[in-house]
Amino acid sequence: MYPFPHRHLLAIEGLEQPYIADLLDLAESYALLNRQGKTQRDLLKGRTLINLFFEDSTRTRTSFELAGKRLGADIVNMSVSTSSVNKGETLLDTAATLNAMQTDLLVVRHGISGAPALLAQKVDAAVINAGDGTHEHPTQALLDALTIRRRKGRLEGLTVAICGDVLHSRVARSNIHLLLAMNSRVRVVGPPTLIPAEAARLGVEVHHHMKTGLKDADVVMMLRLQKERMTGGLVPSAREFFRFYGLDAEKLAWAKPDAIVMHPGPMNRGVEIDSAVADDPARSVIGEQVEMGVAVRMAVLDTLARGLRRNA
Partner 1 sequence: MSATLFTSARLLDPASGLDTPGALLVRDGVILDHGGNLGRPDDAITVDCAGACLAPGLVDLRAALGEPGFEHRETIASAAQAAAAGGITTLCALPDTHPVLDDPALIQFVIRKGESTGCLTILPYAAATAGCEGKDISEFGLLKEAGAIAFTDGRKAIGNARTMRLALSYARAFGSFVVQHPEEPTLAVGGAATEGERATRMGLPGIPVAAEAMMVERDIALARLTRGHVHFAHVSTAAALAKVRAAKEEGLSVTCDTAPPYFDLNETAIGEYRTYAKLSPPLREEADRLAVIAALKDGTIDAIASDHQPRDADDKRLPFAQAEAGGAGLATLLGVTLARVHGGDLTLLQALDLLTAQPAKLLGLEAGTLRKGAPADLVLFHPERGWRVEAGRLPGKAQNTPFDGRALEGRVLGTWKAGRRVFG
> What part of residues 165-224 is at the interface with partner 1 (CB under 8 A)?
170, 173, 196-199, 201-202
Selected binder of partner 1 within 134, 184, 289, 303 (CB under 8 A): 134
What backbone torsions phi and psi does residue 227 show, to the nearest 5 degrees? -60, -35
**Using CB atoms within 10 A of its CB, is residue 215 exposed (0-12), middle (13-18) or buried (19+)?**
middle
Q: List 127's β-bridge partners, or say none.
A: 106
**Using CB atoms within 10 A of its CB, is residue 80 exposed (0-12), middle (13-18) or buried (19+)?**
middle
What backbone torsions phi and psi does residue 85 show, to the nearest 5 degrees? -120, 100
We find the least distance from the C-beta atom of residue 256 to partner 1, in angstroms, to be 29
Binding mask 48-87 for partner 1 (x = CB under 8 A): --------------------------------------xx
63 or 174, CB closer to partner 1? Answer: 174
Q: How far apart are CA 188 and CA 176, in angstroms?
A: 9
Selected binder of partner 1 within 33, 78, 80, 92 (CB under 8 A): 92
How many Cα atoms sit within 13 Å of 303 on the Cβ side? 28
Kindly determine how many residues on this chain lie close enough to bind partner 1 according to the rule CB under 8 A.
27
Q: Note whether 77 and 131 are within 8 A (CB).
A: no
We find the least distance from the C-beta atom of residue 134 to partner 1, in angstroms, to be 4
Q: List 139's β-bridge partners, or say none.
A: none
- Asked if 91 is part of the footprint of partner 1 (rule: CB under 8 A), the reply reads yes
- Asked if 8 is part of the footprint of partner 1 (rule: CB under 8 A), the reply reads no
- Asked if 110 is part of the footprint of partner 1 (rule: CB under 8 A), the reply reads yes
Q: How far apart are CA 67 and CA 295, in angstroms?
A: 7
Selected binder of partner 1 within 33, 78, 112, 230 (CB under 8 A): 112
We find the least distance from the C-beta atom of residue 135 to partner 1, in angstroms, to be 3
Name the residues that contact partner 1, by CB under 8 A. 13, 86-89, 91-92, 110, 112-115, 117-118, 132-136, 170, 173, 196-199, 201-202
